[in-house]
């Protein structure tokens, strides 16, 4: 049987790839098909590389997170020495604030995505909102330092609240008794330079170490004094920055209360965490 192309007499073929290559380079169909095939091959290669590299990327992210946590701890006045003395291991965990337990369904890598959902935020009633937040996230990432036998020796708790000039963000470090301040680091603020802005000075932050937070009955007693500290629950105020000090007081009290880390601290005190 003669398998020639009846239009030009050349040998025909049933191979679609050869038929495609036989088309003129100016052919629109050939251009579209080749472009599609190249895109599909590139997409497959990229997808394959992503799958193969994912474990390496996850390991790198974990290492970067661990280094960031260690740097954060060492940035808190007095924490570098404590970290070296403990010989423990820093870890990070996402907490469900309502239950005070680990949010197993929200790993640290997924926290940002979870908090992009408005449904994962709780609107605060005015009587609850002493920190001036309006709403607070349902999930928060905290950092724990554990000793060789797994006991928590240091808990790092992110805080946020409203100061005089705007939002204040900080990390509060608690000792193993969960009632004594090991240190604090103010990580962001908009307070007045030279006045409330002094809350980011290491000398002022160092005054938090050793301050008690709750009285024996469990009531949060911490406060920034209007002047020099006068008791176990107070830290020195900053001259001319009464409203900033009040904002820090309310921020700490809110986050140690029932709408903040209260359930977590209670669970840890019972040895359930």
Find the mean pLDDT for residues 238-242.
92
The tens digit of pLDDT for each residue in 202-216 reads 889 989 989 999 999
pTM for this predicted structure: 0.72
The tens digit of pLDDT for each residue in 37-79 reads 888 888 888 877 777 766 676 666 656 666 666 666 666 555 5
For residues 189 and 186, give the distance between their C-alpha atoms in angstroms, rounded to a whole number: 7
Residue 9: the pLDDT is 47
For residues 216 and 214, give the distance between their C-alpha atoms in angstroms, rounded to a whole number: 7
List the domain boundaries for the chain: 1-75, 76-269
In the chain, the N- to C-terminal Cα span, in Å, equals 82
Give helix then strand counts, H and E, for the chain: 7, 10
Task: Answer for the pair 51, 44: CB distance below 8 angstroms, yes or no.
Answer: no
Q: What is the DSSP string of 54-116?
A: HHHHHHHHHHHHHHHHHHHHHHSTTHHHHHHHH--EEEEEEEETTTTEE-TTS-GGGHHHHHT
SS3 144: strand
Residue 38: the pLDDT is 84
Q: Beta 181-188 vs 223-224: how paired, if at all?
A: unpaired
């Amino acid at each position: 049987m003669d398998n020639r192309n009846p239009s030009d007499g050349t040998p025909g073929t049933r191979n679609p790839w050869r038929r495609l290559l036989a088309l003129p380079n100016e052919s629109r169909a050939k251009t579209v098909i080749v472009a599609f095939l190249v895109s599909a091959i590139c997409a497959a290669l990229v997808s394959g590389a992503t799958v193969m590299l994912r474990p390496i990327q996850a390991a790198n992210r974990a290492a970067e997170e661990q280094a960031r946590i260690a740097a954060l701890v060492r940035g808190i006045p007095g924490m570098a020495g404590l970290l070296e003395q403990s010989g423990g291991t820093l870890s990070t965990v996402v907490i469900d604030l309502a239950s005070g337990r680990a949010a197993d369904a929200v790993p640290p890598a997924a926290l940002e995505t979870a908090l992009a959902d408005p449904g994962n935020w709780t609107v605060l009633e005015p009587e609850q909102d002493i920190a001036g937040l309006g709403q607070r996230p349902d999930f928060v990432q905290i950092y724990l330092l554990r000793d060789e036998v797994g006991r928590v020796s240091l808990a790092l708790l992110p805080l946020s609240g409203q100061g005089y000039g705007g939002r204040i963000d900080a990390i509060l470090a608690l000792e193993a008794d969960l009632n004594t301040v090991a240190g604090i680091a103010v990580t962001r603020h908009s307070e007045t330079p030279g006045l409330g802005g002094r809350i980011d000075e290491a000398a002022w932050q160092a005054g938090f170490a050793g301050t008690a937070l709750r009285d024996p009955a469990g009531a949060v007693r911490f406060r920034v004094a209007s002047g020099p500290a006068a008791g176990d629950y107070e830290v020195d105020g900053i001259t001319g920055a009464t409203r900033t000090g009040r904002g820090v007081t309310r921020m700490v009290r809110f986050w140690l209360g029932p709408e903040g880390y209260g359930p977590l601290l209670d669970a840890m005190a019972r040895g359930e965490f």
